[in-house]
Chains A and B, each alone.
Chain A
Amino acid sequence: MSEKNSKTRVKVENLQKLFPISKGLFRKSTDFVYAVDDISFEIKAGESLGLVGESGCGKTTAGRILVKLDEASTGAVQIRDAETDEMVDVTEINTKDEQKEFRRNVQMIFQDPYESMNPRRTIFDIVAEPLTVQGIGTTEEREKRVVDLLHLVGLTPPEPFLFRYPHELSGGQRQRVAIARALVMEPAFVVADEPTSMLDVSIRISIMRLMLELAAELGVTYLYITHDLAVARYMCDRIAVMYLGKIVEMAPTEQLLKNPMHPYTRALLSAVPVPDPSYKRPEVEIKGGISRSINPSGECRFLARCPFAVDQCRTDPHPGLFDRGGGHLVACHLVAAEGSWTGAERAVLELRS
């Protein structure tokens, strides 16, 4: 959002995460799900990057690795520490002290406000927990800080909320508590995994606005994980589209929506319901749901569902991200060869006629 600070906050290089498929207790598994497969991106300080895709595309796994809830199989994740202003390698964080330090800097907001909170603890306990763990402040100072934050996330007046339990709150209020908990340490980087998808449309907008305001006020950098492109449009400066563990397209938000280049992004966009009965939708060109990529062969990951595939797609390895300028990256052989989607489409039609 803010232009003044264009330092890189998060740098992800060739990140890969493989999950073994169990074949039984004493047998070594030889099959792996390639949940995240060789993805790289950077997020600037104060920027919000959307990670978008269907369920099972690896977006949540990627987010969990960034906040060190999962370990990467290979690849590097570096996050700039707000205090020291140095890039910290997430895989190098091992000791308890290092982890504590890391959590001060990086937080996560989960999808389900009903399941991400301990039902036996009060709102004060929940929001103050990071402070308690970090040993910050006296009880009074913590209380003041929690009150300030509840105020910030719009739970006003905050005092009556302090000693209530999660079940006494509505879904929207709980998600506000979750946001307050994530922000209590003033983290520089927050991974938000579908923070509004369980909420009603009316509450969804106020939570989205709240997160944007906090980004503007506190300079928080977000990785915003969502399946909903309409929500991503409002929350993100840039969007990365994932398909079966790969980033297939990445561009500034409006650019991606107006001029999608990867056949998968195009299909995804054409399937998004539009709140306008007079809207004439382009035909959705791909069918079926996403599968899992178990020991994928080397070709383009989208080959099986791509209506435009040509011989090159069947023989060449999965295409790298082709930079067609303006920060618009596309992983498609056709677009790389022709430079644009219109060119690629024309080329396919010519080849086939």
Chain B
Amino acid sequence: MTETRLTSTESGAAPKHAEPNLLEVKNLVMNYELKGGEMVSAVENVSFNIPKGHSLGLVGESGCGKTSVALTLIGLQAPNARVLGGEVLLDGENLLALEKEEMRLRRWNDVSMVFQGAMNSMNPVYTVGDQIREAMDIHWDPKPTAKEAREKTEELFNLVGINPDMIDRYPHEFSGGMKQRAVIAMALSCDPKLIIADEPTTALDVIVQEQILEELRSIQDDLGMSIIYISHDIAVIAEITDLLGVMYAGKLVELGTTAEIFARPRHPYSWLLLSSTPSITGPRRVLAPLEGEPPNLLEPPTGCRFHPRCPFATEQCSAEEPELTEIKPGHSIACWNHEKVPVGLDQAEEL
């Protein structure tokens, strides 16, 4: 495990730009339309790339648009969602331009997802094997034979660390961690290029969580897949991703390698988020609370959306909106005053 950690940190410090981008998200804008016709600005001008075989983490407080971005990528946004602009290029092809039916077939084959609490989304009256087979029946072309489906499921069970004897068991016979593994097996059943994992381990105990993250890490290495991890738990993101996007109020405010952002966060929001994360390692710091609450996106603040909570805000911040700008190769932020953000975390003194 130590080895994997080292490689990911190294590749994080110096991203391998040689690898082509698997996914390019360009200027994605998505609003939710409310009954009266009002628009909630849920995703505003979000752009990022993921090279093949890399993993990107999306972090932020609840309601900042992480899941909205993910759902839009795979065309599963809520009925009242309006995609107002942007492109989602997977291997150069714009997924947003696809017909609904075409997109339905691409899901699972090209992009699959593991949702938060997905372990509770299995149908209790079918065996887990049957449910994985169903996914393959719909998405494989041609349909797998019974033998092929069986072999593939056994292979997947081995891959995610479940005994293949469990294939004919029902969901209630699985523990929480095993169900989550089965859902990951299902997500892998059509050999996708990209997996979106939305809080894949949030409901699990730490020891089981660590095992599942380890499993995902090795699957990613073995199969050369790309993964988007969404989590409110920054510590989990630090463990498993090499690229990181920090979201605030529907906007991407910082984007770079995980190693770089954790070592030297440049956006005030990232800096405060990291400063307020407790850890069992290192000196016991005074944790800085992040005052206030995320804004109501019916009427997002003028200028920078973070300015009402930002300790470094100036007049410019409430008037002009900063765009995501590269401050050094592979590290971008959307902030007018990033040079004011101290090096090192807030109040890092020992108690």
| Beta-carbon contacts under 8 Å, A240-258 to B | 254, 257
Of B5, B262, B280, the contact of A233 (CB 8 Å cutoff): B280
CA distance A209 to B276 in the complex (A): 11
Q: Which residues of A contact B289 (CB under 8 A)?
A: 202, 205-206, 209
Pick from B39-47, B218-226, B230-238 the stretch touching chain A.
Answer: B230-238
Would you call the interface of chain B mostly helix, strand, loop, or mixed? helix
* A283 with B280, Cβ < 8 A, contacts A202-B61, A268-B206, A277-B258 known: no
Q: Which residues of A contact B262 (CB under 8 A)?
A: 275-278
Cβ of B290 within 8 Å of any chain A Cβ, yes or no, is: yes
CA distance A208 to B276 in the complex (A): 11
Cβ of B334 within 8 Å of any chain A Cβ, yes or no, is: no
Q: Encode contact with A along B251-291: 1 for CB under 8 Å, 0 otherwise.
A: 00000001100110000000011101111111010011111
A230 shortest CB reach to chain B, Å: 4
Cβ of B176 within 8 Å of any chain A Cβ, yes or no, is: yes
> Are B207 and A273 neighbours in the complex by a CB distance under 8 Å?
no
> Are A273 and B287 neighbours in the complex by a CB distance under 8 Å?
no
Cβ of B9 within 8 Å of any chain A Cβ, yes or no, is: yes
Q: Encode contact with A along B58-99: 1 for CB under 8 Å, 0 otherwise.
A: 000110000000000000000000000000000000000000
> Are A229 and B280 neighbours in the complex by a CB distance under 8 Å?
yes
* A234 with B284, Cβ < 8 A, contacts A201-B61, A274-B279, A275-B277 known: yes
> Are B209 and A279 neighbours in the complex by a CB distance under 8 Å?
no
CA distance A257 to B282 in the complex (A): 11
Q: What is the interface of chain A, defined by CB distance below 8 A to chain B?
A: 54-55, 170, 172, 200-206, 208-209, 227-231, 233-234, 254, 257, 267-281, 283-284, 286-290
Cβ of B323 within 8 Å of any chain A Cβ, yes or no, is: no
* A205 with B290, Cβ < 8 A, contacts A277-B12, A290-B205 known: yes
Of B12, B206, B235, B279, the contact of A227 (CB 8 Å cutoff): B206
| Beta-carbon contacts under 8 Å, B279-306 to A | 279-282, 284, 287-291, 293
CA distance A88 to B258 in the complex (A): 53
* Extra contacts besides A275-B238, A280-B6 (19): CB < 8 Å: A55-B205, A200-B62, A201-B276, A201-B290, A203-B293, A227-B205, A227-B206, A230-B278, A272-B280, A273-B206, A273-B213, A273-B233, A274-B239, A277-B263, A278-B259, A280-B5, A281-B2, A289-B207, A290-B205
> Are B287 and A269 neighbours in the complex by a CB distance under 8 Å?
no
Cβ of B308 within 8 Å of any chain A Cβ, yes or no, is: no
Q: Encode contact with A along B173-208: 1 for CB under 8 Å, 0 otherwise.
A: 001110000000000000000000000000001111
CA distance A203 to B274 in the complex (A): 13
B9 shortest CB reach to chain A, Å: 6
Q: Which residues of A contact B177 (CB under 8 A)?
A: 289
Q: Encode contact with A along B7-37: 1 for CB under 8 Å, 0 otherwise.
A: 0110010000000000000000000000000
| 17 cross-chain CB contacts under 8 A | A201-B234, A201-B277, A202-B272, A206-B289, A209-B287, A229-B206, A233-B280, A234-B287, A269-B280, A270-B210, A272-B206, A272-B280, A275-B274, A277-B239, A280-B6, A283-B1, A288-B208
Q: Which residues of B contact A206 (CB under 8 A)?
A: 289-291
Tell which of B175, B279, B282 has the most Cβ of chain A within 10 Å: B279
CA distance A161 to B238 in the complex (A): 38
> Are B288 and A276 neighbours in the complex by a CB distance under 8 Å?
no
Tell which of A204, A269, A272, A276 has the most Cβ of chain B within 10 Å: A276
CA distance A279 to B281 in the complex (A): 9
